[in-house]
Protein backbone atom coordinates (compact mmCIF):
# COMPACT_ATOMS: atom_id res chain seq x y z
CA UNK A 1 0.00 0.00 0.00
CA UNK A 2 1.25 3.40 -0.93
CA UNK A 3 2.45 5.31 2.05
CA UNK A 4 1.82 8.77 0.73
CA UNK A 5 -1.93 8.30 1.08
CA UNK A 6 -3.11 10.07 4.19
CA UNK A 7 -3.80 7.40 6.77
CA UNK A 8 -7.31 7.82 7.88
CA UNK A 9 -7.69 8.22 11.57
CA UNK A 10 -11.39 8.22 12.13
CA UNK A 11 -12.13 10.66 14.86
CA UNK A 12 -15.13 12.68 13.87
CA UNK A 13 -18.39 11.86 12.21
CA UNK A 14 -17.11 13.40 9.00
CA UNK A 15 -14.28 10.93 8.94
CA UNK A 16 -16.74 8.06 9.24
CA UNK A 17 -18.63 9.14 6.15
CA UNK A 18 -17.39 6.32 3.87
CA UNK A 19 -18.64 3.72 6.34
CA UNK A 20 -21.87 5.55 7.02
CA UNK A 21 -22.50 5.62 3.29
CA UNK A 22 -23.11 1.88 3.40
CA UNK A 23 -24.10 1.36 7.00
CA UNK A 24 -27.07 3.72 6.94
CA UNK A 25 -29.09 1.98 4.19
CA UNK A 26 -27.81 -1.42 5.23
CA UNK A 27 -29.10 -1.04 8.77
CA UNK A 28 -32.29 0.61 7.62
CA UNK A 29 -33.24 -2.44 5.54
CA UNK A 30 -33.70 -4.91 8.43
CA UNK A 31 -35.16 -2.07 10.47
CA UNK A 32 -38.15 -2.05 8.16
CA UNK A 33 -38.72 -5.74 8.73
CA UNK A 34 -38.21 -5.42 12.47
CA UNK A 35 -40.68 -2.59 12.79
CA UNK A 36 -42.85 -4.67 10.52
CA UNK A 37 -45.18 -1.82 9.72
CA UNK A 38 -46.11 -1.01 6.17
CA UNK A 39 -46.61 2.55 7.33
CA UNK A 40 -42.96 2.94 8.27
CA UNK A 41 -41.47 1.12 5.30
CA UNK A 42 -41.44 3.99 2.91
CA UNK A 43 -40.38 6.79 5.29
CA UNK A 44 -37.45 4.72 6.52
CA UNK A 45 -36.36 3.84 3.01
CA UNK A 46 -36.61 7.45 1.95
CA UNK A 47 -34.75 8.77 4.98
CA UNK A 48 -31.95 6.26 4.43
CA UNK A 49 -31.71 7.15 0.78
CA UNK A 50 -31.69 10.86 1.51
CA UNK A 51 -28.98 10.43 4.13
CA UNK A 52 -26.91 8.49 1.60
CA UNK A 53 -27.35 11.26 -0.91
CA UNK A 54 -26.08 13.88 1.53
CA UNK A 55 -23.10 11.71 2.42
CA UNK A 56 -22.31 11.03 -1.22
CA UNK A 57 -22.42 14.74 -2.01
CA UNK A 58 -20.04 15.48 0.86
CA UNK A 59 -17.69 12.75 -0.30
CA UNK A 60 -17.67 13.93 -3.90
CA UNK A 61 -16.97 17.48 -2.77
CA UNK A 62 -13.93 16.36 -0.87
CA UNK A 63 -12.40 14.28 -3.68
CA UNK A 64 -13.19 16.51 -6.64
CA UNK A 65 -9.68 17.93 -6.50
CA UNK A 66 -8.26 14.50 -7.34
CA UNK A 67 -7.48 13.38 -3.81
CA UNK A 68 -8.44 9.97 -2.45
CA UNK A 69 -10.10 8.99 0.80
CA UNK A 70 -9.01 5.65 2.14
CA UNK A 71 -11.12 4.30 4.97
CA UNK A 72 -10.03 1.28 6.91
CA UNK A 73 -12.92 -0.88 7.99
CA UNK A 74 -12.66 -1.63 11.69
CA UNK A 75 -9.29 0.04 11.82
CA UNK A 76 -7.59 -2.88 10.02
CA UNK A 77 -5.11 -1.49 7.58
CA UNK A 78 -5.15 -2.86 4.04
CA UNK A 79 -4.17 -5.12 2.42
CA UNK A 80 -5.22 -7.31 5.31
CA UNK A 81 -8.30 -5.35 6.29
CA UNK A 82 -11.09 -4.20 4.05
CA UNK A 83 -10.60 -0.77 2.66
CA UNK A 84 -13.19 1.70 1.39
CA UNK A 85 -11.71 4.00 -1.20
CA UNK A 86 -13.38 7.10 -2.49
CA UNK A 87 -12.01 8.90 -5.51
CA UNK A 88 -13.59 11.08 -8.17
CA UNK A 89 -14.75 8.12 -10.26
CA UNK A 90 -16.69 6.26 -7.63
CA UNK A 91 -17.82 9.32 -5.69
CA UNK A 92 -19.50 10.30 -8.92
CA UNK A 93 -21.20 6.90 -9.12
CA UNK A 94 -22.20 7.08 -5.45
CA UNK A 95 -23.80 10.45 -6.02
CA UNK A 96 -25.63 9.24 -9.12
CA UNK A 97 -27.02 6.14 -7.43
CA UNK A 98 -28.14 7.87 -4.27
CA UNK A 99 -29.57 10.87 -6.14
CA UNK A 100 -31.57 8.65 -8.48
CA UNK A 101 -32.79 6.60 -5.57
CA UNK A 102 -33.86 9.67 -3.63
CA UNK A 103 -35.77 11.04 -6.58
CA UNK A 104 -37.31 7.70 -7.53
CA UNK A 105 -38.55 6.82 -4.05
CA UNK A 106 -41.31 9.46 -3.77
CA UNK A 107 -42.40 8.39 -7.22
CA UNK A 108 -42.27 4.74 -6.20
CA UNK A 109 -44.59 5.34 -3.30
CA UNK A 110 -47.48 6.24 -5.60
CA UNK A 111 -46.54 3.95 -8.44
CA UNK A 112 -45.83 0.89 -6.31
CA UNK A 113 -49.04 1.39 -4.37
CA UNK A 114 -50.86 0.63 -7.59
CA UNK A 115 -48.54 -2.02 -9.03
CA UNK A 116 -47.65 -4.13 -6.01
CA UNK A 117 -50.16 -5.41 -3.49
CA UNK A 118 -49.94 -3.81 -0.10
CA UNK A 119 -48.98 -6.81 1.98
CA UNK A 120 -45.67 -6.97 0.13
CA UNK A 121 -44.74 -3.37 0.70
CA UNK A 122 -42.58 -3.76 3.80
CA UNK A 123 -40.51 -6.51 2.20
CA UNK A 124 -40.46 -4.64 -1.05
CA UNK A 125 -38.80 -1.59 0.47
CA UNK A 126 -36.44 -3.86 2.40
CA UNK A 127 -35.34 -5.49 -0.83
CA UNK A 128 -35.07 -2.07 -2.40
CA UNK A 129 -32.78 -0.80 0.34
CA UNK A 130 -30.67 -3.95 0.14
CA UNK A 131 -30.33 -3.52 -3.59
CA UNK A 132 -29.46 0.13 -3.03
CA UNK A 133 -26.84 -0.55 -0.39
CA UNK A 134 -25.42 -3.35 -2.52
CA UNK A 135 -24.93 -0.98 -5.42
CA UNK A 136 -23.41 1.67 -3.18
CA UNK A 137 -21.13 -0.94 -1.65
CA UNK A 138 -19.87 -2.12 -5.02
CA UNK A 139 -18.99 1.45 -5.84
CA UNK A 140 -17.27 2.38 -2.62
CA UNK A 141 -15.32 -0.70 -1.65
CA UNK A 142 -11.66 -1.12 -2.41
CA UNK A 143 -11.60 -4.84 -1.98
CA UNK A 144 -12.10 -7.25 -4.86
CA UNK A 145 -13.93 -9.91 -2.93
CA UNK A 146 -16.04 -7.28 -1.24
CA UNK A 147 -17.10 -6.14 -4.68
CA UNK A 148 -18.35 -9.63 -5.37
CA UNK A 149 -20.27 -9.76 -2.09
CA UNK A 150 -21.98 -6.45 -2.64
CA UNK A 151 -22.67 -7.37 -6.24
CA UNK A 152 -24.46 -10.48 -5.05
CA UNK A 153 -26.40 -8.56 -2.41
CA UNK A 154 -27.69 -6.15 -5.02
CA UNK A 155 -28.32 -8.90 -7.58
CA UNK A 156 -30.27 -11.15 -5.26
CA UNK A 157 -32.49 -8.34 -4.13
CA UNK A 158 -32.89 -7.25 -7.73
CA UNK A 159 -34.27 -10.66 -8.66
CA UNK A 160 -36.86 -10.26 -5.93
CA UNK A 161 -37.75 -6.74 -7.01
CA UNK A 162 -38.19 -7.76 -10.65
CA UNK A 163 -40.39 -10.66 -9.65
CA UNK A 164 -42.71 -8.17 -7.94
CA UNK A 165 -43.90 -7.25 -11.37
CA UNK A 166 -45.65 -10.63 -11.56
CA UNK A 167 -48.85 -9.12 -10.20
CA UNK A 168 -49.23 -7.17 -13.40
CA UNK A 169 -47.66 -9.64 -15.81
CA UNK A 170 -46.67 -13.22 -14.97
CA UNK A 171 -43.79 -13.00 -17.41
CA UNK A 172 -41.96 -11.06 -14.71
CA UNK A 173 -41.25 -14.42 -13.12
CA UNK A 174 -39.56 -15.77 -16.23
CA UNK A 175 -37.67 -12.57 -16.64
CA UNK A 176 -36.52 -12.69 -13.06
CA UNK A 177 -35.57 -16.34 -13.41
CA UNK A 178 -33.56 -15.68 -16.56
CA UNK A 179 -31.79 -12.81 -14.90
CA UNK A 180 -31.09 -15.01 -11.91
CA UNK A 181 -29.43 -17.65 -14.07
CA UNK A 182 -27.47 -15.14 -16.08
CA UNK A 183 -26.57 -12.99 -13.11
CA UNK A 184 -25.37 -15.99 -11.18
CA UNK A 185 -23.22 -17.16 -14.06
CA UNK A 186 -21.84 -13.66 -14.38
CA UNK A 187 -21.08 -13.47 -10.68
CA UNK A 188 -19.47 -16.88 -10.82
CA UNK A 189 -17.22 -15.87 -13.67
CA UNK A 190 -16.35 -12.76 -11.74
CA UNK A 191 -15.43 -14.65 -8.63
CA UNK A 192 -13.44 -17.15 -10.70
CA UNK A 193 -11.55 -14.22 -12.15
CA UNK A 194 -10.86 -12.87 -8.68
CA UNK A 195 -9.68 -16.32 -7.69
CA UNK A 196 -7.18 -16.32 -10.53
CA UNK A 197 -6.00 -12.90 -9.44
CA UNK A 198 -5.55 -14.06 -5.88
CA UNK A 199 -3.66 -17.01 -7.19
CA UNK A 200 -1.34 -14.80 -9.19
CA UNK A 201 -0.81 -12.04 -6.63
CA UNK A 202 -1.90 -13.23 -3.22
CA UNK A 203 -3.95 -10.18 -2.41
CA UNK A 204 -7.54 -9.01 -2.74
CA UNK A 205 -7.16 -5.30 -2.12
CA UNK A 206 -7.71 -3.52 -5.41
CA UNK A 207 -4.91 -1.01 -4.99
CA UNK A 208 -2.60 -3.71 -3.87
CA UNK A 209 -3.66 -5.94 -6.75
CA UNK A 210 -2.92 -3.16 -9.16
CA UNK A 211 0.52 -2.66 -7.66
CA UNK A 212 1.44 -6.28 -7.80
CA UNK A 213 0.12 -6.83 -11.29
CA UNK A 214 2.14 -3.85 -12.40
CA UNK A 215 5.20 -5.29 -10.72
CA UNK A 216 4.78 -8.85 -11.88
CA UNK A 217 3.60 -8.06 -15.35
CA UNK A 218 1.72 -10.28 -17.73
CA UNK A 219 1.06 -13.97 -17.06
CA UNK A 220 -1.38 -16.61 -18.28
CA UNK A 221 -3.24 -16.58 -14.98
CA UNK A 222 -3.73 -12.85 -15.19
CA UNK A 223 -4.94 -13.17 -18.77
CA UNK A 224 -7.47 -15.80 -17.75
CA UNK A 225 -8.54 -13.62 -14.81
CA UNK A 226 -9.02 -10.71 -17.17
CA UNK A 227 -11.18 -12.71 -19.58
CA UNK A 228 -13.38 -14.08 -16.80
CA UNK A 229 -13.82 -10.73 -15.12
CA UNK A 230 -14.63 -8.90 -18.36
CA UNK A 231 -17.23 -11.46 -19.38
CA UNK A 232 -18.65 -11.76 -15.88
CA UNK A 233 -19.07 -8.03 -15.45
CA UNK A 234 -20.02 -7.72 -19.12
CA UNK A 235 -23.05 -9.80 -18.25
CA UNK A 236 -24.04 -7.43 -15.51
CA UNK A 237 -23.41 -4.50 -17.81
CA UNK A 238 -25.67 -6.15 -20.40
CA UNK A 239 -22.99 -6.09 -23.02
CA UNK A 240 -24.10 -7.33 -26.40
CA UNK A 241 -24.59 -10.34 -27.03
CA UNK A 242 -25.09 -11.34 -23.40
CA UNK A 243 -27.61 -8.57 -22.91
CA UNK A 244 -30.70 -10.67 -23.39
CA UNK A 245 -31.80 -10.71 -19.75
CA UNK A 246 -32.10 -6.94 -19.67
CA UNK A 247 -35.05 -6.13 -21.94
CA UNK A 248 -37.32 -8.63 -20.23
CA UNK A 249 -36.21 -7.72 -16.76
CA UNK A 250 -36.76 -4.03 -17.38
CA UNK A 251 -40.04 -4.53 -19.15
CA UNK A 252 -41.74 -6.70 -16.57
CA UNK A 253 -40.33 -5.19 -13.37
CA UNK A 254 -42.50 -2.64 -11.55
CA UNK A 255 -42.09 0.78 -13.15
CA UNK A 256 -40.27 2.42 -10.26
CA UNK A 257 -37.82 -0.48 -10.11
CA UNK A 258 -37.16 -0.26 -13.82
CA UNK A 259 -36.45 3.45 -13.48
CA UNK A 260 -34.11 2.83 -10.57
CA UNK A 261 -32.29 -0.14 -12.10
CA UNK A 262 -31.94 1.38 -15.54
CA UNK A 263 -30.33 4.45 -14.08
CA UNK A 264 -28.10 2.72 -11.55
CA UNK A 265 -27.54 -1.04 -11.78
CA UNK A 266 -25.89 -1.25 -15.18
CA UNK A 267 -24.06 1.98 -14.42
CA UNK A 268 -22.50 0.54 -11.31
CA UNK A 269 -21.52 -2.53 -13.30
CA UNK A 270 -19.88 -0.26 -15.84
CA UNK A 271 -18.00 1.37 -13.00
CA UNK A 272 -16.68 -2.02 -11.86
CA UNK A 273 -15.65 -2.79 -15.40
CA UNK A 274 -13.79 0.52 -15.61
CA UNK A 275 -12.15 -0.07 -12.27
CA UNK A 276 -10.84 -3.49 -13.26
CA UNK A 277 -9.96 -2.81 -16.86
CA UNK A 278 -8.09 0.41 -16.17
CA UNK A 279 -7.03 0.47 -12.55
CA UNK A 280 -6.42 -3.12 -11.62
CA UNK A 281 -5.08 -4.35 -14.93
CA UNK A 282 -2.58 -2.12 -16.64
CA UNK A 283 -4.16 -0.42 -19.66
CA UNK A 284 -0.78 -0.91 -21.28
CA UNK A 285 -1.19 -4.73 -21.43
CA UNK A 286 -1.39 -5.72 -25.04
CA UNK A 287 -4.01 -8.43 -24.40
CA UNK A 288 -6.18 -5.82 -22.83
CA UNK A 289 -5.85 -3.47 -25.76
CA UNK A 290 -6.73 -6.30 -28.09
CA UNK A 291 -9.71 -7.42 -26.07
CA UNK A 292 -11.06 -3.90 -26.06
CA UNK A 293 -10.38 -3.37 -29.73
CA UNK A 294 -11.50 -6.73 -31.11
CA UNK A 295 -14.32 -7.67 -28.75
CA UNK A 296 -15.73 -4.73 -26.84
CA UNK A 297 -15.57 -2.25 -29.71
CA UNK A 298 -17.27 -4.36 -32.41
CA UNK A 299 -19.93 -5.63 -30.03
CA UNK A 300 -20.56 -2.09 -28.83
CA UNK A 301 -21.11 -1.01 -32.41
CA UNK A 302 -23.39 -3.96 -33.09
CA UNK A 303 -25.36 -3.17 -29.94
CA UNK A 304 -25.78 0.46 -30.99
CA UNK A 305 -27.40 -0.59 -34.23
CA UNK A 306 -29.07 -3.95 -33.63
CA UNK A 307 -30.79 -2.88 -30.43
CA UNK A 308 -31.77 0.48 -31.88
CA UNK A 309 -33.39 -1.31 -34.78
CA UNK A 310 -35.27 -3.57 -32.41
CA UNK A 311 -36.35 -0.50 -30.48
CA UNK A 312 -37.62 1.07 -33.68
CA UNK A 313 -39.95 -1.80 -34.34
CA UNK A 314 -41.22 -2.29 -30.79
CA UNK A 315 -44.85 -1.66 -29.95
CA UNK A 316 -44.32 -1.42 -26.19
CA UNK A 317 -42.86 1.82 -24.92
CA UNK A 318 -41.18 0.16 -21.96
CA UNK A 319 -39.65 -2.64 -24.04
CA UNK A 320 -38.50 -0.05 -26.57
CA UNK A 321 -36.70 1.89 -23.85
CA UNK A 322 -35.17 -1.30 -22.52
CA UNK A 323 -33.66 -2.14 -25.91
CA UNK A 324 -32.58 1.46 -26.28
CA UNK A 325 -30.75 1.04 -22.96
CA UNK A 326 -28.70 -1.81 -24.40
CA UNK A 327 -27.88 0.39 -27.37
CA UNK A 328 -26.88 3.23 -25.07
CA UNK A 329 -24.67 0.89 -23.06
CA UNK A 330 -23.03 0.32 -26.41
CA UNK A 331 -21.99 3.99 -26.42
CA UNK A 332 -20.50 3.66 -22.97
CA UNK A 333 -18.53 0.53 -23.89
CA UNK A 334 -17.45 2.26 -27.07
CA UNK A 335 -16.04 5.13 -25.04
CA UNK A 336 -14.14 2.64 -22.86
CA UNK A 337 -12.74 0.83 -25.86
CA UNK A 338 -11.16 4.05 -27.16
CA UNK A 339 -8.66 3.74 -24.31
CA UNK A 340 -7.97 7.46 -24.29
CA UNK A 341 -8.92 10.13 -21.84
CA UNK A 342 -11.64 11.67 -23.96
CA UNK A 343 -13.23 8.28 -24.61
CA UNK A 344 -13.30 7.32 -20.95
CA UNK A 345 -14.58 10.78 -20.05
CA UNK A 346 -17.36 10.20 -22.56
CA UNK A 347 -18.13 6.83 -21.01
CA UNK A 348 -18.32 8.27 -17.51
CA UNK A 349 -20.35 11.28 -18.52
CA UNK A 350 -22.70 9.17 -20.60
CA UNK A 351 -23.11 6.84 -17.68
CA UNK A 352 -24.45 9.80 -15.74
CA UNK A 353 -26.42 11.54 -18.47
CA UNK A 354 -28.02 8.38 -19.76
CA UNK A 355 -28.86 7.50 -16.16
CA UNK A 356 -30.91 10.63 -15.60
CA UNK A 357 -32.44 10.50 -19.07
CA UNK A 358 -33.58 6.92 -18.73
CA UNK A 359 -34.79 7.51 -15.19
CA UNK A 360 -37.05 10.29 -16.51
CA UNK A 361 -38.30 8.14 -19.38
CA UNK A 362 -38.94 5.01 -17.38
CA UNK A 363 -40.73 7.03 -14.73
CA UNK A 364 -42.88 8.50 -17.48
CA UNK A 365 -43.64 4.98 -18.64
CA UNK A 366 -44.74 4.23 -15.12
CA UNK A 367 -47.01 7.24 -15.28
CA UNK A 368 -48.72 5.85 -18.38
CA UNK A 369 -49.04 2.48 -16.70
CA UNK A 370 -50.51 4.22 -13.67
CA UNK A 371 -53.05 6.28 -15.61
CA UNK A 372 -53.78 4.37 -18.77
CA UNK A 373 -53.04 0.89 -17.50
CA UNK A 374 -50.33 -0.02 -19.95
CA UNK A 375 -47.33 1.10 -21.89
CA UNK A 376 -48.27 -0.29 -25.30
CA UNK A 377 -48.47 2.29 -28.03
CA UNK A 378 -52.15 1.60 -28.63
CA UNK A 379 -53.03 2.35 -25.01
CA UNK A 380 -51.01 5.56 -25.19
CA UNK A 381 -52.72 6.96 -28.27
CA UNK A 382 -53.29 10.70 -28.09
CA UNK A 383 -52.39 10.88 -24.42
CA UNK A 384 -50.28 13.96 -25.12
CA UNK A 385 -53.47 15.93 -24.65
CA UNK A 386 -54.67 14.02 -21.61
CA UNK A 387 -51.35 13.89 -19.77
CA UNK A 388 -49.64 17.03 -21.03
CA UNK A 389 -47.01 17.30 -18.31
CA UNK A 390 -45.89 13.69 -18.47
CA UNK A 391 -45.84 13.77 -22.24
CA UNK A 392 -43.88 17.00 -22.35
CA UNK A 393 -41.32 15.34 -20.09
CA UNK A 394 -41.19 12.39 -22.49
CA UNK A 395 -40.48 14.75 -25.36
CA UNK A 396 -37.69 16.56 -23.54
CA UNK A 397 -36.07 13.41 -22.15
CA UNK A 398 -36.52 11.82 -25.58
CA UNK A 399 -34.59 14.69 -27.12
CA UNK A 400 -31.88 14.07 -24.58
CA UNK A 401 -31.84 10.39 -25.51
CA UNK A 402 -31.38 11.36 -29.14
CA UNK A 403 -28.68 13.81 -28.17
CA UNK A 404 -30.17 17.10 -29.29
CA UNK A 405 -28.01 20.11 -28.40
CA UNK A 406 -29.14 21.73 -25.20
CA UNK A 407 -29.78 18.42 -23.50
CA UNK A 408 -27.54 16.19 -21.43
CA UNK A 409 -27.47 13.48 -24.10
CA UNK A 410 -25.79 15.84 -26.50
CA UNK A 411 -22.86 16.47 -24.22
CA UNK A 412 -21.92 12.83 -23.84
CA UNK A 413 -22.31 12.03 -27.54
CA UNK A 414 -20.31 15.11 -28.40
CA UNK A 415 -17.44 14.04 -26.17
CA UNK A 416 -17.74 10.50 -27.53
CA UNK A 417 -17.46 11.69 -31.12
CA UNK A 418 -14.48 13.79 -30.13
CA UNK A 419 -12.87 10.76 -28.57
CA UNK A 420 -13.37 8.78 -31.79
CA UNK A 421 -11.90 11.59 -33.86
CA UNK A 422 -8.98 11.91 -31.48
CA UNK A 423 -8.24 8.28 -32.22
CA UNK A 424 -8.62 8.96 -35.91
CA UNK A 425 -11.52 6.51 -36.06
CA UNK A 426 -13.79 8.73 -38.07
CA UNK A 427 -15.93 5.82 -39.39
CA UNK A 428 -16.81 5.10 -35.77
CA UNK A 429 -17.73 8.76 -35.31
CA UNK A 430 -20.05 8.49 -38.30
CA UNK A 431 -21.60 5.34 -36.88
CA UNK A 432 -22.27 7.12 -33.59
CA UNK A 433 -24.14 9.85 -35.42
CA UNK A 434 -25.90 7.26 -37.57
CA UNK A 435 -27.23 5.31 -34.64
CA UNK A 436 -28.41 8.55 -33.08
CA UNK A 437 -30.62 8.88 -36.14
CA UNK A 438 -32.22 5.59 -35.21
CA UNK A 439 -32.97 7.10 -31.83
CA UNK A 440 -34.71 9.91 -33.67
CA UNK A 441 -36.96 7.34 -35.30
CA UNK A 442 -37.94 5.46 -32.17
CA UNK A 443 -38.51 8.63 -30.16
CA UNK A 444 -40.50 10.11 -33.00
CA UNK A 445 -42.75 7.06 -32.97
CA UNK A 446 -43.59 7.79 -29.34
CA UNK A 447 -44.21 11.45 -30.02
CA UNK A 448 -46.43 10.52 -32.93
CA UNK A 449 -48.43 8.16 -30.74
CA UNK A 450 -48.77 10.76 -28.02
CA UNK A 451 -49.55 13.83 -30.04
CA UNK A 452 -50.53 13.02 -33.60
CA UNK A 453 -52.98 10.22 -33.04
CA UNK A 454 -56.51 10.97 -31.91
CA UNK A 455 -57.42 10.40 -28.29
CA UNK A 456 -60.03 7.66 -28.04
CA UNK A 457 -63.48 9.17 -27.45
CA UNK A 458 -64.20 7.20 -24.31
CA UNK A 459 -60.76 7.76 -22.78
CA UNK A 460 -60.92 8.75 -19.12
CA UNK A 461 -57.19 9.03 -18.66
CA UNK A 462 -56.06 11.78 -16.32
CA UNK A 463 -52.69 13.32 -15.51
CA UNK A 464 -50.85 11.45 -12.76
CA UNK A 465 -50.56 12.89 -9.23
CA UNK A 466 -47.90 15.38 -8.25
CA UNK A 467 -45.89 12.80 -6.31
CA UNK A 468 -45.09 11.16 -9.65
CA UNK A 469 -44.88 14.31 -11.76
CA UNK A 470 -42.36 16.07 -9.56
CA UNK A 471 -39.73 13.27 -9.71
CA UNK A 472 -40.29 12.93 -13.46
CA UNK A 473 -39.74 16.62 -13.92
CA UNK A 474 -36.76 16.78 -11.63
CA UNK A 475 -35.07 14.25 -13.89
CA UNK A 476 -36.31 15.98 -17.03
CA UNK A 477 -35.04 19.35 -15.89
CA UNK A 478 -31.78 17.69 -14.92
CA UNK A 479 -31.52 16.53 -18.55
CA UNK A 480 -31.66 20.16 -19.61
CA UNK A 481 -29.60 21.50 -16.73
CA UNK A 482 -26.73 19.15 -17.41
CA UNK A 483 -27.07 19.86 -21.10
CA UNK A 484 -26.52 23.55 -20.54
CA UNK A 485 -24.29 23.58 -17.51
CA UNK A 486 -21.55 21.04 -18.03
CA UNK A 487 -19.03 22.33 -15.51
CA UNK A 488 -19.89 19.88 -12.79
CA UNK A 489 -20.35 16.74 -14.88
CA UNK A 490 -17.44 17.44 -17.18
CA UNK A 491 -14.92 18.21 -14.45
CA UNK A 492 -15.98 15.19 -12.40
CA UNK A 493 -15.89 12.89 -15.42
CA UNK A 494 -12.50 14.23 -16.50
CA UNK A 495 -11.07 13.79 -13.04
CA UNK A 496 -12.46 10.26 -12.96
CA UNK A 497 -11.07 9.43 -16.40
CA UNK A 498 -7.66 10.80 -15.55
CA UNK A 499 -7.55 8.78 -12.35
CA UNK A 500 -8.68 5.61 -14.09
CA UNK A 501 -6.31 5.85 -17.01
CA UNK A 502 -3.34 6.36 -14.74
CA UNK A 503 -3.66 2.64 -14.03
CA UNK A 504 -2.27 1.48 -10.72
CA UNK A 505 -0.73 4.92 -10.20
CA UNK A 506 -4.24 6.33 -10.23
CA UNK A 507 -5.12 4.10 -7.31
CA UNK A 508 -2.54 5.72 -5.11
CA UNK A 509 -3.64 9.25 -5.29
CA UNK A 510 -1.52 12.20 -6.12
Partner 1 sequence: MLDALPTAFLFFLAALILPILPRGPLRSLLVLIVPVVAGLAVYALPMGNLVQAEFFGFTLDLMRVDPLSRVFALLFCIAAFLGGLFAWHLRDTVQQVAMLLYVGAAIGAVFAGDLVTLFFYWEGTAISSVFLIWARRSEASYFSGMRYLTIQIGSGVMLLAGIILHYSATGSIAFDAMTLDSPASWLIFIAFGIKAAFILLNNWMIDAYPSATVTGTVILSAFTTKLAIYALARGFAGTELLIYIGAATAVYPLIWAQLENDLRRVVAYALNLQQGFMFVGIGIGTELALNGAIAHAFVGVLYGMLLFMTLGAVMYRTGTSRATDLGGIYKTMPLTALFCLVGAASISAFPLFAGFVSKSLIISAAAKGSHYVVWGCLLLASAGGFLVCGLKVPFFAFFSKDGSLRPREAPGHMLLVMGLTAVLCVLAGTNPTALYALLPYDVSYQPYSTGHIITQLQLLLFSALAFALLLPTRLYPRPNPTVNLDFDWVYRRLLLGAIGLLAIPVRGFFRALDRFKAGPLKALIRTLYNTYGPMARTSQFWPTGAMVLWIAILLGVTLLVSYAS
Site residues for partner 1 per CB under 8 A: 174, 177-178, 181-182, 185-186, 189, 220, 223-224, 226-228, 230-231, 234-235, 241-242, 244-245, 247-248, 286-287, 289-291, 294-295, 306, 309-310, 312-315, 319, 323
- Which of 207, 310 has the CB closer to partner 1? 310
CA dihedral angle for residue 399, residue 404, residue 407, residue 411, rounded to 10 degrees? 130
Extract the runs of DSSP E, i.e. beta strands, from 388-466.
none
Nearest approach in angstroms of CB 287 to partner 1 is 4
**Taking the complex as a whole, how short is the minimal distance between the CB of residue 213 and partner 1, in angstroms?**
14
* 70 vs 308 by CB, closer to partner 1: 308
Q: Least Å distance between CB 431 and partner 1?
A: 16
Nearer to partner 1, 296 or 402 (CB): 296
CA 147 to chain centre: 15
- By C-alpha distance, which of 258, 318, 325 is closest to 112? 258
In 3D space, the residue among 286, 269, 296, 276 whose CA is nearest the CA of residue 197 turns out to be 276
Q: Which is nearer to partner 1, 55 or 326 (CB)?
A: 326
CA 1 to chain centre: 30
CB of 411 to partner 1, least distance (A): 26
Residue 315 DSSP symbol: S
CB of 308 to partner 1, least distance (A): 9
* Residue 92 vs 377, nearer CB to partner 1: 377
Given the complex with partner 1, which of 189 and 352 has the nearer CB atom? 189
Integer Cα distance of 162 and 255 in angstroms: 10
C-alpha torsion sign, points 166, 237, 270, 431: negative
Smallest distance, Å, CB 302 to partner 1?
Answer: 11
Nearer to partner 1, 174 or 459 (CB): 174
Element (H, E) at 114: helix 88-115
Q: How far apart are CA 498 and CA 36, in angstroms?
A: 46
CB 254 within 8 A of CB 362: no
Smaller CB distance to partner 1: residue 182 or 272?
182
What is the Cα–Cα distance from 65 to 492, expressed in whole angstroms? Answer: 9
Q: Cβ of residue 333: shortest distance to partner 1, in angstroms?
A: 13
Contact 259, 363 (CB under 8 A): yes
What's the rounded Cα separation, in Å, for the pair 18 and 142? 11
CA torsion through residues 197, 500, 150, 352, sign: negative
Q: Shortest distance, CB of residue 316 to partner 1, whole angstroms?
A: 9
Q: What is the DSSP string of 44-57?
A: HHHHHHHHHHHHHH
Amino acid sequence: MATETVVHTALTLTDQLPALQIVVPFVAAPLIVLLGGRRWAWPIAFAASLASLVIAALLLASVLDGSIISYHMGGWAPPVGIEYRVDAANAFVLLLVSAISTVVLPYARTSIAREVSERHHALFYTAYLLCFSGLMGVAITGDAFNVFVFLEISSLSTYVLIAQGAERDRRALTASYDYLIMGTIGATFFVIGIGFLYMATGTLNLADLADRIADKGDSRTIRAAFAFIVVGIGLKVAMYPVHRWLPNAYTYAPSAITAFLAATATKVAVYVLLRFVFSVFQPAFIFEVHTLEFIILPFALVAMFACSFVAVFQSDFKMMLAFSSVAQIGYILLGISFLNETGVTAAVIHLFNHGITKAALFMAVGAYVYSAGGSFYDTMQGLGRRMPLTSAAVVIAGLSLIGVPGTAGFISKWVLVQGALEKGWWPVAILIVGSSLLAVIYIWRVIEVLYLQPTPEDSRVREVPMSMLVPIWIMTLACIWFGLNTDMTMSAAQAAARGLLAGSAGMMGQ
